[in-house]
Amino acid sequence: MTEQLLHLTEEALWEAARRSGTYEMSTRGRTLREEGFIHCSLPRQLPAVADALYGPDPEGLVVLVIDGDRLGAPVRYESVSPGGEEFPHIYGPIPVGAVLEVRPWAEHPVPEEGEAP
């Protein structure tokens, strides 16, 4: 299995994806078609991403735990600025079957890699 990929989203958007078979939102308020890829995070990156996108109101959010080996699209690690931190981007829709787990977002929902939950 490749490195665990995480995507924070609204529960209603995930439920819609489950019905359609694929998830196609890139980030808050932007689709895959608009952005060109789906923004993801590694476990250590997710708290800062959640704070930047959703602020102090995590109500109704879930974390998609994605198996990169089950994607039919490439994953590229890219930074916003030269030399900046790289984030995983999925260049295509996420098949529902590639989502291993859906976790409710909480203050500390994802342990750092190597830590016990």
- Asked if the structure places residue 113 within a domain, the reply is no
- Asked if the structure places residue 72 within a domain, the reply is yes
What does the pLDDT read at residue 55? 81
Contact indicator for 90, 40 with CB cutoff of 8 Å: yes
**pTM for the whole thing?**
0.86
Each residue's pLDDT tens digit, 20-52: 999 999 998 999 999 999 999 999 999 888 888
Q: Residue 90 above 90 pLDDT?
A: yes
What does the pLDDT read at residue 117? 41
Q: Which element (helix H / strand E) includes 50?
A: helix 46-54
Structurally, how many domains does the chain consist of? 1
> For the chain, how big is the Rg over CA atoms in Å?
13
Which of 37-41, 89-93, 101-105 is the least confident region? 101-105
Residue with the bigger pLDDT between 117 and 47: it is: 47
Q: Residue 16 above 60 pLDDT?
A: yes
- Asked if the structure places residue 117 within a domain, the reply is no
Domain that holds residue 83: 5-104
Angle at 27 between CA 19 and CA 94, to 5 degrees: 40
